[in-house]
């Protein structure tokens, strides 16, 4: 009996090739990683802008002389420049007594390799004084 006549079933699946399932899992993981790498910085920046505008709206609602309308406008320009936002994307909506509102509206383009996505932000920060 020669070696070719013996049929071994114990190593039938070991042919040195990668299964389709393994290839699909790797492709899905790579796609998920690329999406996370592209989206997470935009999301983190959005949350930082929310925090900064909420803080500014809260300070503006205190109604103290330290935060006049001109100073609030300067801080809005500062936030806009810090994050590289288009001019007019952050605006003081209302400032009355102990209530202030700051509106934030802009879009960021997220460029994936195949397509691009417009990440739209539309937010209103409300500050209420005591």
Token pair, residue 7, equals 């049929």
* Number of domains observed in the structure of the chain: 1
Task: Convert the pLDDT of each residue in 17-59 to its tens digit.
Answer: 678 888 899 999 999 999 999 999 999 999 999 999 999 988 8
Q: 110, exposed or middle or buried, with CB in 10 Å at 0-12, 13-18, 19+? A: middle
Q: Is the pLDDT of residue 5 over 60?
A: no
pLDDT number for residue 107: 94
Task: Identify whether 87 is part of a domain.
Answer: yes
Task: Identify whether 47 is part of a domain.
Answer: yes
Task: Identify whether 84 is part of a domain.
Answer: yes
Task: Convert the pLDDT of each residue in 43-100 to its tens digit.
Answer: 999 999 999 999 998 888 876 656 778 888 899 999 999 999 999 899 988 888 788 8
Cα–Cα dist 56/72, whole Å: 7
Q: What range does the domain containing 58 cover?
A: 42-128
Task: Identify whether 22 is part of a domain.
Answer: no
What is this structure's pTM? 0.77
Q: 127, exposed or middle or buried, with CB in 10 Å at 0-12, 13-18, 19+? A: buried
């Amino acid at each position: 009996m020669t070696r070719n006549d013996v049929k071994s079933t114990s190593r039938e699946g070991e042919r040195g090739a990668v299964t389709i399932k393994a290839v699909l899992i790797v492709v899905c993981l790579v796609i998920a990683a690329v999406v996370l790498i592209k989206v997470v910085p935009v999301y983190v920046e959005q949350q930082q802008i929310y925090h900064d505008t909420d803080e500014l709206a809260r300070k503006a609602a205190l109604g103290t002389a330290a935060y006049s309308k001109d100073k609030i406008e300067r801080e809005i320009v500062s936030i806009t420049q810090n994050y590289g936002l288009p001019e007019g994307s952050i605006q003081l909506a209302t400032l009355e007594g102990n209530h202030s509102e700051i509106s934030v509206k802009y879009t960021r383009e997220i460029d994936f390799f195949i397509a691009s996505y417009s990440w739209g932000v539309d937010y209103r920060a409300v500050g209420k004084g005591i």
